[in-house]
Amino acid sequence: MANPPPSSMTLSDNDRMMEMINGYWITQIVNAAATYALADHLAKGPAAAAEIAEMANTDPSATFRLLRACASLGLVTYDGECRFTATSLLNTLRTDNAQSLRDLAMLMAGPGNWLPWGRFVDCVKTGEPQAVAALGKMVFEYIAERPAESQTFTRAMKRAITFVTEEVARILDTHSATVIADIGGAGGSLLHAVLQANPAPSGIVFDLPNIAEIAKWATAEIGLERRVTSVGGDFFEAVPAADLYLLRYILHDWDDAACIRILQNCRRGHAAGRPGGRDRTGAWRHRPTRPGATDGPEYDGDVGRAGAKRDGIWPTFRGGRTAPRDDDRDEYADGDRHRGDGSLKAIFNNGFM
């Protein structure tokens, strides 16, 4: 059986640097394993490369070499007699895994992400995004014109962060919300989970028109079509009126000026949704760069310039998937109960993925 690769801690600096230089090989090996569904094929039991090639409709010789590369990464084991067995690591790419990373692996190695990253040196030199130079248009416009990549994107956003969705739905206080809008909500998985945990509110999934169509289908599939409306549009122009907004992994995609526009539009939509009413807290989740990081204040300037303010950092994850302390709940509830100045507030739901 092939052994997993040695820990980087045992390698010389030259060997470690070689690993870094050749890191893109790993990305594309994993992409190939995901694209040709190796995890699904091996879920049936050990198989020879020729058998997998027949199931995946790939070249047998190239498939054998791919599987040997996968063995060197700990994705499969190899018995020396041309039969390969999936490991638990490869099983993270199975399509029947609720938290499958298969679509994310294909998305990140696909042209929409891969080609702009190939111009990273130019980005550092000029300070300008390279999507237009690499793709001919911005990334989301590029994806919108490619239905297969749009669907991969939507599935990746749903599955890769399932545990975040479940945790937010369990903890988020929606007691005075009538309409909840999931801005940039992709297939609507976060909103769906929140509404399933809270039967009173209705909801809106807001995303680009092509993604909104996918959200409409996803909503009907789980039987929430009477409570959820899918709306297509551009959050730089306007967002639907609502009294609670969810933005999950949205602001990190944009520069400060763009973030301010998004937040300002949420504030305008919030005012339109509850004219003259008391404020309602929006929950904004941002992924910190390392365990224990507290980077909500990074967006304080943008939030302030949008006419809102950060109400606090709501820690839903403490060293892993654990429930918040009672005082965290009390602090949130107190802030929601006593601050009625009509402003949109943001709570950064701090966690580590």
Whether 286 is a known active-site residue: answer no
For residues 344 and 282, the answer to whether their CB atoms sit within 8 Å is: yes
Angle at the Cα of 86 from the Cα atoms of 82 and 69, rounded to 5 degrees: 60
Contact 75, 67 (CB under 8 A): no
Inter-residue contact 187 to 203 (CB < 8 Å) = no
Q: Which of 41, 175, 252, 270 is catalytic?
A: 252
User: Tell me, what DSSP letter sits at residue 198?
Assistant: -
Residues 6+ apart with CB under 8 A from 248: 161, 164, 165, 168, 182, 184, 185, 190, 285
Grouping H, G, I as helix, E, B as strand and the rest as coil, residue 184 is: coil
Q: How far apart are CA 120 and CA 33, in angstroms?
A: 26
> Residue 8, SS3?
helix
Q: From the CB of residue 115, how many other CB atoms can be counted at a distance below 10 Å? A: 17
Amino acid (one-letter) located at 114: W
- Computed on alpha carbons and rounded to an integer, the radius of gyration of the chain in Å comes to 23
CA angle, corner 162, sides to 160 and 165, nearest 5? 130
Tell me how far apart the terminal alpha carbons of the chain are, to the nearest angstrom.
Answer: 32
Alpha carbon distance 267, 239 (integer Å)? 9
Q: How far is CA 58 from CA 52, 53, 66, 328, in A?
A: 8, 5, 11, 53
Phi-psi region of 146 (alpha: psi -120 to 50; beta: other; left: phi over 0): beta
Residues forming the active site: 252
